[in-house]
Amino acid sequence: MTARHRLRSLFTLVQLNGIIPIRSQPLYLVNLLASPLSFLFFITIVSRGAYLAYGITGGMILTMLSVGTGLQSDLTHYRHDLKFQDIVVASPVEAPVYVAGMALSELVYSLPALAVFVLMFIAEGLATVSSAVVLAGTLVLVWAFASALAFTLATYFQDVRETFLFSPLISLVLTVLPPVYYPLSALPGWAQVIAHFSPTTYAAGLVQGSVGLAPFSVSAALLDWGVLAAFTAGLFVLAALKARWKEP
């Protein structure tokens, strides 16, 4: 396949799994907005508005993670129920193109939610050139590791119902327990240590630091970028080793 053919395949997958399903069922767009907005509402009410900014930045991180859980369900469904992956394997489409195309297609569902949160981000006066760059970079990494995790897990699921079982657990471990919607300092000392095992803690630390919600230092930011990038790279390696293109 030439680069041009690969691009055509990639765009077709985005169209096939992203644009067309939304055209036939626009409610998909609202669906991805529901959880982050619910968390934002809840955290703002409970904190009497003090954590609104945390809710906005956390909402964007949760939106990117939701892309991963959606991807996990779609991959499992396509593989087992529709045998779509078998059709793709026996075609010129290469595994990395399929992975990238499917992950990008899921991103389409998140665009309205991201747009709403970006508008709030600007309205709350959080947007600067540096915070926008940090936010964009962080969200790309969160999307990448959520997609890699989705590919790895989808390999082991035998039925789409199993993904419904795991998605809330992943959401709990990666967004509710780590300090995505609140400052790290709100957690007791022992919980702060545990929180550092979650990549989202570093993602939230970066975004919160860039908008002045958490103390900022260059060394801490570099550490956060490094750990987040390492988590993402690790999950990609795991996906490459464990995700099955050809069955054993």
Q: Which residues bind another protein (CB under 8 A)?
A: 1-2, 4-6, 8-9, 11-13, 15-17, 20-21, 24-25, 78, 81-84, 86-94, 246-248
Judged by DSSP in three states, 197 sits in coil
* CA–CA–CA angle 125, 129, 130 (5° rounding): 100
Please report the DSSP string for 102-118 in residue order: HHHHHHHHHHHHHHHHH
Cβ nearer to another protein, comparing 16 with 132: 16
Cβ nearer to another protein, comparing 13 with 104: 13
Tell me, what amino acid is at 79? R
Structure tokens, 34: 């529901």
Minimum separation from the CB atom of position 30 to another protein (A) = 17
Minimum separation from the CB atom of position 159 to another protein (A) = 15
Cβ nearer to another protein, comparing 54 with 98: 98
Minimum separation from the CB atom of position 182 to another protein (A) = 38
* CA–CA–CA angle 107, 109, 114 (5° rounding): 75
Cβ nearer to another protein, comparing 92 with 226: 92
* Cβ atoms 143, 61 nearer than 8 A: no
Cβ nearer to another protein, comparing 21 with 137: 21
Minimum separation from the CB atom of position 95 to another protein (A) = 10
CB atoms within 10 A of CB 60: 25
Cβ nearer to another protein, comparing 106 with 224: 106
Helices (H), 125-210: 129-156, 160-171, 189-195, 199-210
Cβ nearer to another protein, comparing 86 with 159: 86
Minimum separation from the CB atom of position 79 to another protein (A) = 11
Q: What is the dihedral of CA 58, 148, 219, 130, to 10 degrees?
A: -50
CB atoms within 10 A of CB 217: 9
Minimum separation from the CB atom of position 164 to another protein (A) = 18
Minimum separation from the CB atom of position 90 to another protein (A) = 4
* CA–CA–CA angle 31, 152, 232 (5° rounding): 85
